[in-house]
Amino acid sequence: MLHLSTAMVQRPKTREQDSQGRILEVVRRITKGRVCSYGEVARLAGLPRRARLVGTILKTTTARVPWQRVVNAQGRIVFPIGSDAHRRQRALLEREGVQFIGARIDLNRYGWGSDGSLDELLWDFRKR
């Protein structure tokens, strides 16, 4: 399991960097074959109501994180259907076993949190 300290190799100085670190840390932990919404990632990172920031960070970061596992609260890829980005994200998700119904993912089935690893995350955060 990834230890928290490994994700913080570069200690954040500003609040912005801190937020970014926390968000990327949560995204990194989303289990393969699961998805999580922007808003949920924000909440888990301790940044409620910052869904848009999650999007901004995923767009700009160069860090290798499983960005494809973040979708909107309706279980849909945010990129326009037909765009390269949309196809790319969908292909990555399908490759890890996530099924689509039309353009939608059933969050009750593939939403992160129904597989136990989320409990580990919360436990880790509580220990800090």
Contacting positions for DNA (CB under 7 A): 16, 19, 37-40, 49-56, 58-60, 67-68, 70, 72-74, 78-79, 89, 104
CB of 37 to DNA, least distance (A): 4
With beta carbons less than 8 A apart as the criterion, state whether 78 and 71 touch.
Answer: yes
Residue 101: phi and psi, rounded to 5, are: -110, 105
Nearest-approach distance from CB 5 to DNA, in angstroms = 23
Q: How far apart are CA 75 and CA 107, in angstroms?
A: 6
**71, containing H or E segment:** strand 70-71
Q: Which is nearer to DNA, 56 or 117 (CB)?
A: 56
**Quick one: 16 or 94, whose CB is closer to DNA?**
16
Is 31 or 37 the residue whose CB approaches DNA more closely? 37
Closest CB to DNA among residues 13, 49? 49
The residue count for the chain = 128
**Dihedral, CA of residue 18, residue 24, residue 25 and residue 26, to nearest 10:** 110
Minimal distance in Å, beta carbon 38 to DNA?
3
Q: Within 13 A of 20's CA, how many CA atoms are on the CB side? A: 16
Smallest distance from the beta carbon of 57 to DNA, in angstroms? 8
